[in-house]
Amino acid sequence: MSTGKGKKRIKNVPVLHEEPKKQRGILLTDTAWYSVLELAAINKISASEYVEKLIRKHCVTAPKGATHSSHT
């Protein structure tokens, strides 16, 4: 997804969302991963942005600044 002509991305400065992204790790089957890649390409966005949009569309998130308990 383009940020628009003339807009340069700056590290840790959010462009598409109200907060910067952080590197995360998820495990996916090859089928799921290639589906993400295909659907992202169809929508002309990155795989990361596709997953972000999918989650934001279907999940209720905690308010900004809320802490999450870690699972042990």
Please give the chain's pLDDT, 72 residues, in tens: 455 555 565 665 655 557 777 889 999 999 999 999 999 999 999 999 999 999 888 877 665 665 655 555
DSSP conformational letter for 57: H
Count CB atoms within 10 A of the CB of residue 40. 19
C-alpha to C-alpha distance for 21 and 71, rounded to whole angstroms: 21
pLDDT for res 1: 47
pLDDT for res 50: 95
Using a cut of 0.95, tell me whether the model's pTM lies above it: no
**Cα–Cα nearest to 57, from 39, 31, 34, 30:** 39
